[in-house]
Structure 1
Amino acid sequence: MTHTPKIVIIGAGPMAIYTAKGLLHGDAPLELTIFDATDQVGCGMPYRAGMNADYMYCNAFSREIPSITQPLVSWLHDQDDAFLNAWDLARDDIDARDFYPRVLLGHYMKSEFDQLCEAGRNAGHTVRVLPNHKVVDVVPTESTIKLEAMTPDGQSSFAFDKVVLATGHDWPTAPKIGGADLVSPWPYTNITDLPAGRVGVLGSSLSAIDVIVALGKQHGTFIEEGDKVSWFSNPDSEAMSVTMVSHKGIMPEPDFYYPYPYETLQHVHPEAVSAELESGTGALLERVFALLLAELNDAAPDYMEALGPKAQSIDGFSEAYFNHRETVGGLRALRETLTAAVKSKENKETQHHRYALLRGHENFEMILEHLNDEDWQIFSEKLMPVFGDCYAAIPHISVRRVLALYDAGVLQIIPTGPESSFSNSHSGGVTVKTVDGDITFDALIDARGQAAAALSDLPFPSLVSKLSAPKGDLRAPFKLDLSTPTKGAVYCLSMPQILQRHPFSQGLPNCDALGRDVSKDILRSI
């Protein structure tokens, strides 16, 4: 009798969904089981109602979100008027270049997940979805991979041939930095429950913007008239003041116009990077950076001339890239960059240096797992901050809300600089050492985003004990190397572990690509 492969995905968020999509498109019949610890299966924590507020936006426009069974825009058009009205959407305004709230995307993914599972069943696969099943251990055995899970009926054991860990983000409920206790931003009610007072926000990127907007919504009202946004405090919230603290004291730039489908870069494209890989790993980072420089020098010569000669080296590029915004000041620079971004969209003209960096940095992903330790450190310290900044383009509505709070006099941003320190204050708050001196907050919210973690930090003790290299890096196709012989296999797409060596993996297009890598490897092996 032919054995039908038994595959399980632990988690039911975007990484799991795109992995399942790849598996269910295979020809051979599968038994696919999907476990999720919650009862909200098919959306994932960043898109889940209750964890996120309705006004928190995704920073990918709709056409960039990979289709599951149909594109987001098509799905939106299929919804009835009552649904669209609830989201303040007019059918005529649905646009492939628009940004949408993350919770709305959660509804899309949940609906699409259900459709995907049904299509898989119709294609001859067995698909089981098990909500409220929290996996507490993964146990490799000689013949199979056993799972221990807490179910609504108590603890149970399950056996599978292939296991995919797609457990998503992992946020500490009581985060710390140094000796200071921070407030977790998840669920968002941790933010909105804070009384008006001196609130600090640690970080200044996308997570910080969510926090700031949540505070603004809770303690006042945004008045939005076209492109003009104002903010007015509630009568009982006049004591509210918000300070972002981050290393550089700047914010990412607003979203800008660029061609989609994407135009091919001339220098730092996949074929060129592959050729550098084939030439060996010696000076690999330097050689691929030279491709990026060639791209920038050709596409944006005026910009590169303005950065100065230091920008022609890895050591000098990061400093030159951030220098103008640091000099102007974080929120003043944000207003300046919004003006340029609005002009870019209105005229449908790209900002060439930003497009080269946005598209070019994706091709650096090809070399990251091949870098030696020295080059990895250089990349992490010098180039990753630049790439993270350009990757984190902000929807204009979010920028305008942030600037409205700044104009109302309740928001500022202060750099901590290299000598920062954090400690609990005697009053019960947190004191931060910044370039402007010590500042004490009633509460400091952790908005640094998802941190990377080692394989040894996976929450499955038996699996960790069987890892050949618990401090090693994950490499495609993300199959774990186990020290015990087994006919089974475990693949790891858990977000903190993926980020250890693949720092551009949090977006939905990245989840799609990683899910395809794993599903292809599994299908090849069965």
Structure 2
Amino acid sequence: MPESRSLKRVAIIGAGPTGLYTFFSLLKADIPFEIVIYEQALEAGVGMPYSDEENLHLMLANIASIEIPPLTCTYLDWLRRQSAVRLARYNVDMAELDERQFLPRILLGEYFRDQFLALVQRGKEAGFQITVNESCQVTDLEEREHEVRLWAECHEAPVCFDLAIVATGHVWPDEDQATRSFFPSPWSGLLDAHIPACKVGIIGTSLSAIDAAMAVAIQHGRFVEEADDALRFEADERSQTLSITLMSRSGILPEADFYCPIPYEPLQIATPAAISHATADGPDGLLDRVFTLMAREIKAVDPHWSARIGLRNLDADSFADAYFEDRHSHDAFRWSAYNLKEVECNKREGRTVNWRYAILRLHEAVQDVVPLLTDSDRRRFDVGLARVFVDNYSAIPSESIRRLLALQRSGIIHLLELGLDYTMDRKPDGTTVNVGGVTHVFRVLIDARGQKPLKTENLPFGRLRRQLLAAGESRPIVDEDYFLKGLGAASGRIALGALPYLMHDRPFIQGITASAKIGSKIGNAALRVISARQDVVTISE
């Protein structure tokens, strides 16, 4: 028998982590409604960074269970419910599971997939009408005053929604842009390509770059665990000519992920109130006022380190040089070995390095100030403090450092500091890099510098792109709940949770925790809109 109740239609475009956490938030509604999910990949809920199509089993997620916001259960609880055989496929020992453990990305993708399916079932049992369109790409969007029109490969005609949420995630060059000598990203066909035992250059030194190096190396050998817990790389006989060079302007390597209390303890000096007070005096001098708060925070928790780097004499421009000085003055691989030993000892003893922990927490506080900086201060920030924050929160799993050191001991991997004055000449048969008068020739080049911020002109939805450009929006502007602004009366019906388009004003917005926060904000805002615009229609049960 038909039943009258409030029904709204919401589209979620993209079912990776941001779409998944948005879906999770929408299911908290008191009155169920219709949710239609579009995912261009084969399976919704996984996300490109964690799919088995884009990753190898040895590639590690840079986040542990303790940091992942739970859905129907925590990641660790889910792991403990799996069979030992399933975990063994990823070289994971059931007896060694730990909430701070870094595990393969594909395994995390399996968790997200299971959580997605559980949420779909939970939502349907609660009365939500849920449709999941997999292997279906949304090709266009148009925001109107009373609806959003959506075009997709799985529909013959446009479909109308009350709200649409864009959660399409990272954007990488297509595989057809790759050649046998150049890969524009590690996710542009590299995993399926045969890389010969030759000189390989990788632009970047982050975890993505290191993973790209691993993807090449394991085509030519294997990692072997030694009796003393050391790791060795054993190259094949025919692969002795393999040489991999990581390249970056700074010529330093990331540090290993460090122990600290989670959830984060509140800052004592650079508090939200203090940051707000600093911004109240306007943009002029804002960066320097905020750095003063940072310096006071760091000195209060770690006076010894502050004195060692001469913090009292540093400012927003010179702090980065002091921060990186130790690594610049030592051999990069020797520093990595030293750092790995220190980090592992701290983890065993539960010891926190206070200055590192302070910087980790400060990056979120400072990020809110970035959109308010003057153009000149933004440039100062990008070449100074931003590098410190990115280095700090991008610390990588210890196992990735162990593998890197094993490759270095085998003579396969090298590091090249490019500096600011270098040239790179890419040709069909290879790439030539000239640094300080020395020429380096690479048969294969991989660009692993990570996601770049995208503008309105990069939006894949032609109608929405034209709407924003006509409104003078060269880059998408969103409100605090991530709903698009700038479309006049039509504004407020499309939420943009796609990270590349948010990075201009939010330079540190990446990772699962960011996806969870974005999904929660969008979901809560959508529920407020739905609650305020209830229309009663008749549907059949």
- DSSP-derived class of the 2:308 partner: helix
What's 2:403 paired with?
401
Report the Cα offset of residue 394 of structure 1: 1.2
1:59 partnered with 2:62: yes
Instruction: Give the total of aligned pairs.
Output: 521
**For each residue in 1:96-115, what CA deviation from the matched residue of structure 2 results, as whole angstroms up to 9, or x when unmatched?**
11111111000000000111
Which amino acid letter does the alignment assign opposite residue 493 of structure 1?
Answer: G
Which amino acid letter does the alignment assign opposite residue 432 of structure 2?
Answer: T
Report the Cα offset of residue 433 of structure 1: 2.4
Tell me whether 369-378 or 114-123 shows the greater mean CA deviation.
369-378
Report the Cα offset of residue 519 of structure 1: 1.3
Tell me whether 311-320 or 383-392 shows the greater mean CA deviation.
311-320
Which residue of the other structure, out of 25, 41, 44, is the alignment partner of 2:44? Answer: 41
Q: Is the 8 A contact 1:10 1:167 kept in 2?
A: yes
Q: Is the 8 A contact 1:53 1:188 kept in 2?
A: no
Which amino acid letter does the alignment assign opposite residue 500 of structure 1?
Answer: H
1:138 partnered with 2:138: no
What's 1:81 paired with?
84
What's 1:510 paired with?
514
Instruction: Decide whether aligned partners of structure 1 residues 410 and 520 sit closer, same or farther in structure 2, where only a CA change above 3 A counts.
Output: same
**For each residue in 1:385-427, what CA deviation from the matched residue of structure 2 results, as whole angstroms up to 9, or x when unmatched?**
11110111111111010001111111111111111222124x7
Which amino acid letter does the alignment assign opposite residue 430 of structure 1?
Answer: T
What's 1:170 paired with?
171
Write the distance in 1 (CA, Å) between the matches of 2:525 and 2:38: 21
What's 2:446 paired with?
445
What's 2:98 paired with?
95
Which residue of the other structure, out of 485, 489, 511, is the alignment partner of 2:493? Answer: 489
**For each residue in 1:173-218, what CA deviation from the matched residue of structure 2 results, as whole angstroms up to 9, or x when unmatched?**
36999xx954431156447521110000100011011112222222
Report the Cα offset of residue 281 of structure 1: 4.0
Q: Point out where structure 1 has 5 or more consecutive residues left out of the alignment.
A: none
Which residue of the other structure, out of 224, 230, 233, is the alignment partner of 1:231? Answer: 233
Counting only pairs closer than 5 Å after superposition, residues 170-319 of structure 1 correspond to structure 2 as: 170-173=171-174, 181-186=182-187, 189-190=190-191, 193-225=194-226, 227-308=229-310, 312-319=314-321
Give TM-score scaled by structure 2 length: 0.91
What's 1:429 paired with?
430
Tell me whether 305-314 or 294-303 shows the greater mean CA deviation.
305-314
Write the distance in 1 (CA, Å) between the matches of 2:214 and 2:405: 10
Write the distance in 2 (CA, Å) between the matches of 1:470 and 1:264: 36
Note the aligned Cα RMSD (angstroms): 2.2
Q: Point out where structure 2 has 5 or more consecutive residues left out of the alignment.
A: 531-541
Write the distance in 2 (CA, Å) between the matches of 1:388 and 1:2: 48
- DSSP-derived class of the 1:509 partner: helix
**For each residue in 1:271-330, what CA deviation from the matched residue of structure 2 results, as whole angstroms up to 9, or x when unmatched?**
432343445444332222211111111222222222235862001001111122122132
1:358 partnered with 2:360: yes
Tell me whether 302-311 or 75-84 shows the greater mean CA deviation.
302-311
What's 1:149 paired with?
152
**For each residue in 1:488-525, what CA deviation from the matched residue of structure 2 results, as whole angstroms up to 9, or x when unmatched?**
61111112102222122211111111111111211122
What's 1:457 paired with?
458
- DSSP-derived class of the 2:433 partner: strand
1:501 partnered with 2:505: yes
- DSSP-derived class of the 1:525 partner: helix
- DSSP-derived class of the 1:471 partner: coil
Which amino acid letter does the alignment assign opposite residue 302 of structure 1?
Answer: H
Write the distance in 1 (CA, Å) between the matches of 2:439 and 2:292: 42
Q: Is the 8 A contact 2:6 2:33 kept in 1?
A: no
Instruction: Decide whether aligned partners of structure 1 residues 271 and 176 sit closer, same or farther in structure 2, where only a CA change above 3 A counts.
Output: farther
Instruction: Decide whether aligned partners of structure 1 residues 171 and 100 sit closer, same or farther in structure 2, where only a CA change above 3 A counts.
Output: same
Write the distance in 1 (CA, Å) between the matches of 2:492 and 2:358: 43
Write the distance in 1 (CA, Å) between the matches of 2:257 and 2:437: 30
Q: Is the 8 A contact 2:175 2:188 kept in 1?
A: no
What's 2:344 paired with?
342
Give TM-score scaled by structure 1 length: 0.94
Which amino acid letter does the alignment assign opposite residue 261 of structure 1?
Answer: P
Which amino acid letter does the alignment assign opposite residue 419 of structure 1?
Answer: D
- DSSP-derived class of the 1:147 partner: strand
Q: Is the 8 A contact 2:177 2:188 kept in 1?
A: no
Q: Is the 8 A contact 1:414 1:436 kept in 2?
A: no
1:416 partnered with 2:418: yes
